[in-house]
Structure 1
């Protein structure tokens, strides 16, 4: 997934292995030693006499080749340390490879192979205290990153990932709708709850419930969206039909908002794009034109995968509503009962078979005073 992919997460190191940060540092140091060895080999060629030039040039080329490999492995160790799709052992693997190439570069250049000492850093196992300290630091960085992203987006990690998937879906499916910005405006009017159809015309009412007058909306686009089931109609008592987005229409509208670049500049351009898609399905020219005038539905895969992300504030509001609904479904308050107060004396039981004074039935809903006394 391209730039819309979820943000990368820190790699998790296993107990006993060097941390990704240590692997990156060792890989970078190995690359520096390899490049230095290649430079020394080149300097030796420049100062050599003609008799030893061929041998030194071969050594220089070998050292330079190993230095390039060492730098490449160091780059990959740093890159994959922040890539959640890579295994946690990737930084260690590439750090070891960088050290190996650095040793070969120094050997080819004829200098002391000091890069071999770096292997000890990679082989050294983390103690339990070091691992605990690293794990604490990693979690602290993750918490800070999560707090920053929540403050910026107002969403938790799961909903940020869903928003990224929605953007990816939009890039792949909006162009296939064959829409213009005018189609989006029609659906936005329907989303407001003020789009209605009366006397063969589509209008956007000044306010909900007043189905007369208002701004005119494109009749052709409204009819096309309704025929393609992006709009639903609810008939009123006076014969007026109020138009609202269908579930497919709402999803298509959200995707079009996420990727407006997929909309066509004009109705003619949109028609030509639809014509190109249906041309091979029909042999007769008239059938091709008729099919191109029909808006295609939103792809079924996009309908299944699209989910509207919920903000943290929205989650809290929904949790409060669910708590109220659950409280009411479990009995709620007993009509006519006073607010519960501590009993001043021993509880007084109601005679068996008598009715509840607050509901008039034999069963009480808490918090009924008589029910508490039984």
Structure 2
């Protein structure tokens, strides 16, 4: 079996890259170790940057997003008894974000790929990558109890932090940068109306809280919890009570509660590997980097990697610009580290750390007050939140 680009992983990054390449006439095959149902069951991000929204439109999969998604012109920061709105549209010359769940993005991409006839193999076992530094890379795997060899020009590793792609790079090649935070986010999904028309990020002495949403009738709320907390110890009532205690009084009073339809705890960490490529293997998304969810950058950063590799491969196959392949990691990492910085800043400013004392709490509030107290500070927050421009490939 042969293709031009072998894509490992059928999450949103792999599917988006596959869709873009297919529309450009570049043959690709996606292999995925899980079932389609499992991939769709993941409850993940819901805030799409302007750049990712534009990329989904280029890929021709934006119809449902444009009709059902919720464009947001701003969001709120709540701290020290105040609510401060960051006017994204005004501060970034018209850019906004889109509230549209990652599950829905994945569903749209799956349907588009099925309609296109492009090949995706699910339930793949024992995938292995070979000859990554040679002239003829290939992937072997087991499909329906049969051994398969997939020859290709390039391999896109979109299979997440625990996937085979990064693990296929020899020891000593990659440099790892990591910070593990001493807390997590307890998230609840509920069929209740949003408490506010825009997202609210709250800094409170009891810990961080976030009021988000998936639709006008489905909400997603989070509270910061200790890293060792267990979901089973949090009843719905305990969650709602804790959330209310961390929100401004006027917001807490109008919060509509209800039974949770999903509840989970997500640990927070920052992680980057350098370089993001090894020979003909290119790492994308969680295979190369993880950000705390505070800045809403995880899925968007994966889309940024997709954009970079897609633009480079267009040049390679249309113009013979194989020299650009060596620039992938350098181009991606510029934007990766800027997104890591913003996510680190948001996490540092809004959460309560184990060593947070009265002085540290005041410093957090003063830092937030400084940024929201000037047009320049608000613009810095806004331009990072809607997403910095994609880096040019040359």
Interval of TM-score (by shorter of Structure 1 and Structure 2): under 0.3
TM-score (norm 2): 0.19
Higher strand share: 2
Higher helix share: 1
TM-score (norm 1): 0.20
Task: Please tell me whether Structure 1 or Structure 2 has the larger radius of gyration of its CA atoms.
Answer: 1
Larger relative contact order, structure 1 or 2 (CA cutoff 8 Å, min sep 6): 2
